């Protein structure tokens, strides 16, 4: 079931393309290189991390937990595969160095933001769109900063917080997601 | 026998103090076809979403096959087919992929019915959803909703936005094909023509309440509209106390009174209350009756 859901997920479908772009952009020398953080952020938005299921999926006999797990895995793939490919791009061009930690630090931030968006308004099909806006302002500042001064502890701390949020959501998720005003808006449908 | 679908005093609101549904109660038996009528905002879609477990109730309860769709949503949805006007199928999927996904989810799948519907709707399995017309996409949704042979089919404005030919094709297929097999069908619509063609029972929602719940044939035979000059009866209260009175409303210079009963008998009763010679009492088509029951005053 999880595989069936993941392979239909928009985030999963976008992952190979984002990984390719990420590898190329991170491998470029400055001033292009720091745009890797921007690419990661845009990739995250493409995956619509505030959405746990589409209305179409909500009408089908699928456990809410399966939907949540599939969505989380798709989003983590969308964040971490491009981050790893970005690091690989740096290694290929510049060899092993501390620079390769940059995409991983940005990936850690993106993963945490995806986890926060996934766990907000957990009873509903999707959280409100505005939950995407704070990262929109935060990442352009924090992303390049992290890229220039990567703190080794950031990825593991973000990963730990993300896992904690997911475990909480796994326990608290209802058996069926509810439609809501936010999920009935057309944004998700337009993109979907 | 356990009803297929049962609403008991269901209330739901989206804004405090403005109930969309206010104590709605009715049930459906196996094989029954029920048309859910009402104006925009009457609560039809909300009620169907509640039956699917997609919206919770604020009070009251809903049972599908005797089970709450909130307690065991997967078991309920396995036995239900659902098509909605708002439904958006995955646009990049092909029809074949969509069918494969549904086949995987439901386990039980009627291949013969699938082929029959693909032929009837002239749908190619390799077509992508985003390349289909609105009508074809709705037909694809119907195919997916019925090929697992649901025991209950919920259709929320299923033919909304379709041209008359596509509309008729869609409704005839869904209703004839399934009801023959004993599937209970609840469909909401604004179109009186659809409701009259399909027949069965009608539940009319107005201001969140069930205003009428009875067989279509009985509505045609038992309900009439009386038109009484307002000059001869300035107060509507007397008509409201009439046995079987369903609604009184002012329409220009007349009172329009919707009453259960034979037109001649009703006219006789009204003559006692308002001795005007110009009282007219007639049976009206369903569309007129709908307007009389839920329309505003003029």
Pairing of strands B209-215, B201-206: antiparallel
Phi and psi of A126, rounded to 5°? -150, 145
User: Does B106 contact chain A (CB < 8 Å)?
Assistant: yes
| Cβ contact, residue pair A8, B77, below 8 Å | no
Angle subtended by helix axes A133-148 and A35-46, to nearest 10:
150
Q: What is the dihedral of CA B129, B133, B139, B145, to 10 degrees?
A: 40
pLDDT given at position A33 = 62
Gap between the Cα atoms of A69 and A6, Å rounded: 9
Could you give the angle at the alpha carbon of A83 between the alpha carbons of A78 and A88, nearest 5°? 130
Q: Contact A10/A48 with Cβ under 8 angstroms? A: yes
Per-residue confidence (pLDDT) for residue B64, from 0 to 100: 95
Bridge partners, B214 (sequence order): B202
pLDDT for res A188: 37
What pLDDT score does A146 carry? 61
Residue A19: per-residue pLDDT: 92
What distance in Å separates residue B153's CA from the closest CA in chain A?
Answer: 12
Please provide residue B284's backbone torsions phi and psi, each rounded to the nearest 5 degrees: -125, 155
- Is A185 an interface residue toward B (CB < 8 Å)? no
Domain residues for the domain of A119 are: 2-191
Annotate A54-91 with b (16+ C-beta within 10 A) or e (fewer).
bbbbbbbbbebebbbbbbbbbbbbbbbbbbbbbbbbbe
Residues of chain A with pLDDT under 70: 30-34, 135-136, 138-151, 180-192
Nearest-CA distance from B193 to chain A in Å? 28
Angle at A33 between CA A32 and CA A38, to 5 degrees: 85
* Residue ranges for chain B with pLDDT beneath 50: none
- Cβ proximity of B102 and B144 under 8 Å: yes
Interface membership of A31 toward B (CB under 8 Å): no
CB < 8 Å from B in window 37-96 of A: 54-56, 58-64
Q: What is the pLDDT of residue A127?
A: 84
Rg for chain B (alpha carbons), in Å? 22
B53 backbone φψ class: left, alpha, beta (φ>0; ψ -120 to 50): left
Number of domains into which chain A is organized: 1
**B194 to chain A, minimum CA–CA distance in Å?**
24
**Would you kindly state where each structural domain of chain B is located, as residue ranges?**
5-207, 222-294
What Cα–Cα distance (Å) separates residue B41 from each residue in A113, A121, B21, B47, B118? 37, 25, 10, 11, 34
Q: Which fold has domain B222-294?
A: Alpha-Beta Plaits (3.30.70)
Superfamily covering domain B5-207:
P-loop containing nucleotide triphosphate hydrolases (3.40.50.300)
Output the pLDDT for position A66: 93
pLDDT value for A182 = 45
CB A15 within 8 A of CB A76: no
Q: Which of A61, A139, A104 is nearest to B76 (CA)?
A: A61
Give the pLDDT of residue B261. Answer: 86
Q: pLDDT tens, A69-109?
A: 999 999 999 999 999 999 998 888 888 877 788 888 888 88
Residue A192: list chain B partners with CB under 8 A: 88, 90-91
Q: How high is the pLDDT of residue A2? A: 86
The rounded Cα B147 to chain-centroid distance in angstroms is: 22
β-pair partners for B225: B258, B282
Query: Which of B237-252 are b and which e, b meaning 16 or more Cβ less than 10 Å from the residue's Cβ?
Result: ebbeebeebbbbbeee
Among B18, B73, B91, most A C-beta atoms within 10 A, so best to mutate, is B73
């Amino acid at each position: 079931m999880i595989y069936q859901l993941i392979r239909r997920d928009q985030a999963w479908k976008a992952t190979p393309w984002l990984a390719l772009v990420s590898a190329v952009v991170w491998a470029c020398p400055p001033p292009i290189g720091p745009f890797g953080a921007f690419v990661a952020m845009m990739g995250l938005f493409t995956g619509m991390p505030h959405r746990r299921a589409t209305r179409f999926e909500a009408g089908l006999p699928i456990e809410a937990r399966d939907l949540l797990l599939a969505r989380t895995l798709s989003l983590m793939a969308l964040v971490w595969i491009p981050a790893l490919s970005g690091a690989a791009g740096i290694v290929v061009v510049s060899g092993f160095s501390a620079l390769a930690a940059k995409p991983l630090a940005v990936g850690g931030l993106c993963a945490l933001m995806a986890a926060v968006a996934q766990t907000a308004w957990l009873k509903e099909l999707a959280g409100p769109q505005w939950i995407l806006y704070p990262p929109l302002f935060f990442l352009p500042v924090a992303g390049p900063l992290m890229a220039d001064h990567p703190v080794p502890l950031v990825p593991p701390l973000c990963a730990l917080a993300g896992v904690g949020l997911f475990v909480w959501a796994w326990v608290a998720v209802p058996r069926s997601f509810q439609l809501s005003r936010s999920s009935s808006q057309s944004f998700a449908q337009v993109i979907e | 026998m356990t009803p297929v679908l049962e609403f008991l005093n269901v209330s739901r609101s989206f804004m405090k103090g403005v109930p969309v549904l206010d104590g709605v109660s009715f049930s459906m038996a196996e094989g029954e076809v029920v048309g859910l009528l009402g104006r925009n905002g009457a609560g039809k879609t909300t009620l169907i979403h509640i039956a699917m477990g997609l919206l919770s109730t604020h009070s009251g309860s809903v049972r599908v096959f005797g089970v709450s769709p909130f307690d065991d949503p997967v078991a309920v949805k396995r036995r239900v087919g659902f098509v909605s006007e708002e439904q958006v199928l995955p646009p990049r999927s092909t029809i074949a992929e969509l069918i494969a996904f549904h086949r995987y989810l439901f386990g039980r799948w009627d291949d013969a019915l699938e082929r029959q519907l693909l032929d009837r709707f002239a749908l190619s399995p390799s077509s992508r959803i985003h390349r289909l017309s609105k009508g074809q996409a709705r037909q694809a949704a119907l195919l997916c909703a019925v090929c697992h042979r649901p025991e209950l089919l919920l259709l929320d404005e299923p033919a909304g936005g379709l041209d008359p030919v596509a509309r008729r094709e869609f409704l005839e297929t869904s209703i004839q094909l399934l009801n023959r097999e004993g599937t209970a069908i609840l469909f909401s619509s604004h179109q009186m023509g659809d409701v009259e063609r399909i027949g069965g029972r009608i539940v009319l929602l107005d201001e969140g309440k069930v205003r009428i719940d009875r067989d279509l044939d009985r509505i045609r035979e038992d309900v009439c509209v009386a038109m009484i000059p307002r000059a001869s009866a300035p107060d509507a209260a007397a008509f409201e106390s009439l046995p079987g009175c369903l609604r009184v409303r002012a329409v220009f210079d007349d009172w329009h009174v919707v009453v259960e009963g034979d037109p001649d008998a009703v006219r006789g009763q009204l003559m006692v209350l308002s001795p005007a010679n110009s009282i007219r009492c007639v049976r009206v088509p369903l569309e007129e009756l709908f307007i009389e029951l839920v329309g505003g005053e003029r």
